[in-house]
Structure formats: structure tokens, C-alpha cells
Amino acid sequence: MRRRSEPHTFEQRLGAQKLRLEHELSGLPDGRQREIVLARIDQLQTAAEMYGFLMLREEVAAPR
């Protein structure tokens, strides 16, 4: 039977996706596809920041 790998956190998946897109970006010439990848990287950064903000709020609210 096949063993499952450890589950990755949301933050880890965001980071891995961002690294993959940055690697893809390094090989793209200027143009539409490059702009799309840059926009996606920006979205991933925003998602990471929002997640961090929400987790901080959750930690503050939890000790009640």
C-alpha cells in the first residue's frame, strides 16, 4: 500500500506555487504571457498576506 506524504500547509502551497511561477517567469519574454504570470504571482502574494492577517486575528481571538 502506498504511503501518503505529509499534508502541506496553505502557506507552503502558496510558496511552492510562487516559486514555480517565478521559475516560469525567468524563461518568458516580454509580452502577454509574462504579464499574466506576473499578475498571478501578485495574487499569490496578496493571498499570503491576507492569510497571515487572518491567522493573526484568529490567534488574538482564541485565548478567550
Model confidence pLDDT, tens digit, residues 24-52: 999 999 999 999 999 999 999 999 999 99
Rounded CA separation 17/8 (Å): 12
The residue-averaged pLDDT of 11-30 equals 95
Residue ranges covered by each domain of the chain? 32-64
Kindly report the pTM of this predicted structure.
0.79
pLDDT grade for 64, boundaries at 50, 70 and 90: low
pLDDT grade for 57, boundaries at 50, 70 and 90: confident
pLDDT grade for 63, boundaries at 50, 70 and 90: low
Classify the C-alpha dihedral 58-60-61-64 as positive or negative. positive
